[in-house]
């Protein structure tokens, strides 16, 4: 059943668990996500970036989700625009049938971010659509910054309080030290959990963790053994994800782990049988491998058996 992102995340916020927000770019990825949700009785958020929408077409993206939502009406699912870069992009997604959107104006100064977010919220709420925004910025692994610079890059809890009050945004992604992609940390992983707790206390709304790929050992080994190279990647450990949920995170973005698991299986099959060209022989096992990663993530986040 297709529902708003607010409906799913308010329940997670009140009950203290996390919901995976899984990116997709085709039917195989989306079907793997739904199969895991069915297996684990988990609500879910499926999300498409602007790049994925350009690849699939917005009508196809919405159509695929609506078709599977109708096929599996027992699964509460929200369709989310991931990192909408403009007011226009968010409005286009809302008109197309998305039930949740992110307006990412975090690269602007605080006042401009607030202004742009407020514009999107006004339209989205009139349509029953939830809105996510972001404060602070995700740091790359090559960032070599001072303590003062780090503090400026991460979310300010008091600014978060003002931002939520003024914009009436439904969920907020606070920058606490993660980064996008597989290559997150130079040394040991570090997230500012104390800052996270302060943001939750100041805002009292669902919070979002971006850059949350974990690169679990099983996925890493499958990718490496098939001939892949992760160049010493380090993800966010499961223990950190669980600590983040205790601190107030309710939406956990997940993309990189799914891609790695899928491609590892495709490469393994290609290596073992170089005369195979039936796409189904590649994509069915790859989707199953991805679904196992998603099901495990649902257990870790605490969303299993929540519907």
Tens-digit pLDDT profile for residues 126-183: 999 999 999 986 544 333 333 333 445 799 999 999 999 999 999 999 999 876 555 4
Helix, coil or strand: residue 212: coil
| Tokens of residue 289, six digits | 């491998």
Query: Which pLDDT value is given to residue 137?
Result: 64
Q: Which of 82, 170, 192, 257 is catalytic?
A: 82
Query: Which pLDDT value is given to residue 141?
Result: 36
What percentage of the chain reaches a pLDDT higher than 70? 91
283 contacts 238 by C-beta, under 8 angstroms: no
CA angle 216, 104, 17 (to 5 degrees): 45
- Residue closest to 61 by CA, chosen among 84, 91, 30: 30
- Residue closest to 253 by CA, chosen among 284, 208, 218: 208
| Tokens of residue 98, six digits | 């998305």
- Main-chain phi, psi angles of 234, to 5 degrees: -135, 120
Query: Which pLDDT value is given to residue 179?
Result: 63
203 contacts 254 by C-beta, under 8 angstroms: no
42 contacts 304 by C-beta, under 8 angstroms: yes
Query: Which pLDDT value is given to residue 140?
Result: 44
82 is catalytic: yes
**Distance (Å) of CA 14 to CA 6, 238, 248:** 12, 22, 10
Query: Which pLDDT value is given to residue 232?
Result: 77
- The residue ranges of the chain whose pLDDT is under 70 are 137-152, 179-189
| Tokens of residue 142, six digits | 């090559």
Rounded Cα distance between 22 and 28, Å, is 13
Helix, coil or strand: residue 306: coil
248 dihedral zone (left: phi>0; alpha: psi -120 to 50; beta): left
Query: Which pLDDT value is given to residue 79?
Result: 98
| Model pTM score | 0.92
Query: Which pLDDT value is given to residue 188?
Result: 64
The distance in angstroms from the start CA to the end CA of the chain is: 11
Tokens 């892949």, located at residue = 228
Rounded Cα distance between 68 and 70, Å, is 5
**Distance (Å) of CA 302 to CA 123, 197, 199, 299:** 32, 19, 21, 5
Mean pLDDT of the chain: 92
User: Diameter of the chain by CA atoms?
Assistant: 60
Rounded Cα distance between 18 and 12, Å, is 6
Query: Which pLDDT value is given to residue 234?
Result: 78
Rounded Cα distance between 80 and 8, Å, is 12
Rounded Cα distance between 10 and 232, Å, is 37
């Amino acid at each position: 059943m297709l529902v708003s992102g607010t409906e799913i995340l308010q329940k997670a916020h009140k009950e203290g668990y996390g919901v995976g927000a899984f990116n997709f770019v085709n039917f195989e990825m989306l079907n793997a996500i739904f199969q895991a949700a069915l297996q684990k009785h988990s609500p879910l958020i499926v999300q498409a970036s602007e790049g994925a929408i350009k690849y699939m077409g917005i009508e196809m993206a919405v159509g695929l989700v609506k078709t599977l939502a109708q096929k599996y009406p027992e699964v509460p699912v929200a369709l989310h625009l991931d990192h909408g870069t403009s007011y226009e992009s968010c409005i286009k997604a809302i008109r197309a049938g998305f039930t949740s959107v992110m307006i990412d104006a975090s690269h602007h100064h605080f006042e401009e971010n607030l202004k742009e977010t407020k514009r999107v919220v006004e339209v989205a709420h009139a349509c029953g659509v939830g809105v996510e925004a972001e404060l602070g910025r995700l740091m790359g692994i090559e960032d070599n910054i001072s303590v003062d610079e780090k503090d400026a890059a991460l979310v300010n809890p008091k600014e978060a309080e003002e931002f939520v009050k003024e914009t009436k945004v439904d969920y907020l992604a606070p920058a606490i030290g993660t980064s996008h992609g597989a290559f997150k940390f130079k040394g040991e992983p570090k997230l500012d959990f104390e800052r996270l707790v302060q943001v939750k206390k100041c805002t009292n709304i669902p919070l979002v963790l971006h850059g949350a790929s974990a690169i679990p050992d099983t996925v890493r080994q499958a990718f490496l053994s098939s001939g892949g190279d992760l160049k010493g990647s380090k993800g966010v450990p499961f223990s950190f994800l669980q600590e983040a949920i205790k601190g107030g995170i309710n939406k956990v973005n997940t993309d990189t782990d799914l891609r790695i698991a899928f491609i590892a299986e495709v490469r393994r099959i290609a290596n073992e049988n170089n005369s195979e060209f039936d796409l189904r022989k590649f994509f069915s096992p790859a989707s199953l491998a991805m679904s196992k990663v998603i099901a495990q993530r649902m257990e870790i986040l605490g969303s299993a058996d929540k519907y």
